[in-house]
Amino acid sequence: MATTRASSKLPPKAANFQVDTRLAVLLGDSYASTERALKELVDNAWDADAENVWVTFPKAMTKEPIVIHDDGAGMTESELRYEYLFIANDRRSRKGETTPQKKRKVKGRKGVGKFAGLIAAQMMSVVTRVRGTETAIVIDRKVLQQAGREIEAVPIEVSVRPCEQGSHGTTLTLSQLDQNLHFPSADKFRQLLMRDYGREEGFSIYVDGKRLDLADVGGSVTECVQSIADVGEAKLRFAVSDEKGRLKGAGIVIRVKGRVVGKPTFLGLDQADDFPKSLLSQIYGEIEADGLESDLTGDFGSIIENSKAFESIRSWAEPILRLQVTSIYRREMQLAKARLKQKIDRRLASLPEYKRQYAEVALSKVLHKFYGESEDRLEPLVNVVLDAVEQDDYRLILEKIDEAKDQDVTAFAEALQQFGLVDLAHIAEQARNRLRLLDFLDELRSKPQTDELVMHKAIEQNLWLLGEEYGLLASNKTFKSIAEDVASKVYAGKRATERPDLLLAGNVSKQHVLIELKNPSMTLSFEHYQQATRYRHELSSYISGHMKVWIIGGRRGENALPASHEPEIYLSTFAEVIANARRQVEWLLERLAAAPA
């Protein structure tokens, strides 16, 4: 079906595709764009331990091919026949997760990425050289498509001829480009490659003769040169990407005498409360400062921590970096706050003026800090801030809890009841104190003398325990009296001793939750489910709006919640409620720690 690429003294010998049973159809694999498909071929050069890859795009409106050439290990005839033509043969399963010579982490896509060129072209020729031998094949996409699932029966002519002994590497030529696809963009291709390979040492990529550079990150490039005392000349060059997605190796590297020292740094922006942490991944560049040589560790691996020279460089470069990022993303920063504005205005309006101004400043900091997070992630943080403003200082409450926790459980529960969300200016500290509350509550529910009334006091003013969406709900005297009236009506006379503890909470949007609390030592049963549904039906004549029901006890009984149960009835143990709340608080602490302040 194909002809040899170069003349050969040896007659061509037919080969066939070897098809792994996991994937019988080659072209079932797809790519979002031609550029992404071509990147797979660069990934294969990386896996072949190449040091250089040259990609040549055709000139516009011509029929020239795309050529990808590398100086990697190349393939022998046997490797080409029994490995390269083995479709879906994952080289990781054969040779491990790293490359043999340079110990790079393998990138190729499980044996099919090597054929990605056929997504863009009708014909793909492969010429590979190693150990004085050049081996070549040509693959025709049309023939493969006609073969369908019988692809292993398609003959592939293999040409073998001598070549220069030291020559090694592989050249792919993609011809007869698919006219139904947009012409591949060299600029877009560079940006795509830059995200994965921009920081890789010992691997250079040239696209149309131009080496990959930070200008290929996308967005604007800034260059500044400054003479700094005790350092000499320092050159800052960086790009702020305006493309979606995170850059691998984002940040500013320090280069001294041509060598990169240490890991990328953000020059203190990662420690700034007023700088969106998600934008750090859009910064990419370097500072050249040969004058830092005397401030490096002996192995040239990092800059000495207390280097005054580096601090001078940081003080010069950080404002430049900040100004450029802010100028590009100012509008996005403003939109981040606007997305939640309608949701928080109602609560802000209910605050005294002096608290409102304080809350607005703190909310702005939170929205900057977690810029880019989804609304369902941001909203709990906003609720924490607003709840904190509405509450008194946490220290007095915690002192009371500490005093009460070793006394009788009623005093302990009353102290917990007063625990609210705390000081606005210390969200991280507040989250840690929530963890303390959860520890105390866990201890409380495990005490044998604790009953549902004690747990009621502990939970009533801390409904965030059920989830942040319940943090805006509140119990009040009216709701409390309604719940008591219903319970008294249902459990009158001889049944009065069986009366459960009810907590009814709601918000201004007529959303309500009815919580039926059982003794922490009690096993929840089907009867408890029946009671809860009866309460909801009774309460509906007193209160309009949406009502969920939550039954909380010590253990789950068998069939306590039938498969055909009424909607929005939830069954939990106190241990589960505490564990779920703990996960939420720990997530908050992890985010605060992970997004370098």
CATH code for position 225: 3.30.230.10
Count other C-beta atoms under 10 Å from residue 220's C-beta: 14
Choose the final residue of a domain: 210, 236, 264. Answer: 210
Together in a domain, 221 and 322: yes
Determine which helix (DSSP H) or strand (DSSP E) holds 157, and give its type and residue range. Answer: strand 155-162
Together in a domain, 43 and 173: yes
Together in a domain, 241 and 277: yes
Residue 590, in any domain of the structure:
no
How many residues in total does the chain contain? 597
Together in a domain, 435 and 542: yes
Together in a domain, 290 and 376: no
Together in a domain, 233 and 194: no
Residue 373, in any domain of the structure:
yes
Choose the final residue of a domain: 142, 175, 210. Answer: 210
Q: Is the dihedral of CA 371, 374, 375, 376 positive or negative?
A: negative
Question: Is the pLDDT reported for residue 334 higher than 70?
Answer: no
Q: What is the pLDDT of residue 494?
A: 52
Question: Is the pLDDT reported for residue 308 higher than 60?
Answer: yes
Together in a domain, 503 and 362: no
Please name the residues in contact with 279: beta carbons below 8 A apart, sequence gap of 6 or more: 325, 329, 371, 372
Residue 20, in any domain of the structure:
yes
How many domains are there within the chain? 4
In terms of residue numbers, what domain contains 298?
A: 217-332
**DSSP three-state, residue 480:** helix
Together in a domain, 463 and 358: no
Together in a domain, 363 and 449: no
- CATH number for the domain including 143? 3.30.565.10
Confidence of residue 75 (pLDDT cuts 50, 70, 90): very high
Which carries the bigger pLDDT value, residue 353 or residue 100?
Answer: 100
Residue 8, in any domain of the structure:
no
Pairing mode, if any, of strands 133-140 and 155-162?
A: antiparallel
- Gap between the Cα atoms of 368 and 330, Å rounded: 11
Together in a domain, 138 and 171: yes
Query: In the structure encoding, which two tokens stand for residue 518, read together?
Result: 């059982």
Average pLDDT, the chain: 76
Residue with tokens 């393998």: 106
Burial of 542 (0-12, 13-18, 19+ CB in 10 A): middle
Determine which helix (DSSP H) or strand (DSSP E) holds 18, and give its type and residue range. Answer: strand 18-19
348, 356 in Cβ contact below 8 A? yes
Question: Is the pLDDT reported for residue 130 higher than 70?
Answer: yes
Together in a domain, 122 and 258: no
pLDDT tens profile 364-404: 776 666 666 656 566 766 777 777 666 644 444 445 555 65
Together in a domain, 259 and 121: no
Choose the final residue of a domain: 332, 358, 374. Answer: 332
Residue 7, in any domain of the structure:
no
Residue 6, in any domain of the structure:
no
Among 106-110, 183-187, 483-487, 491-495, whose mean pLDDT is lowest?
A: 491-495
Among 489-498, 506-515, 548-557, whose mean pLDDT is lowest?
A: 489-498
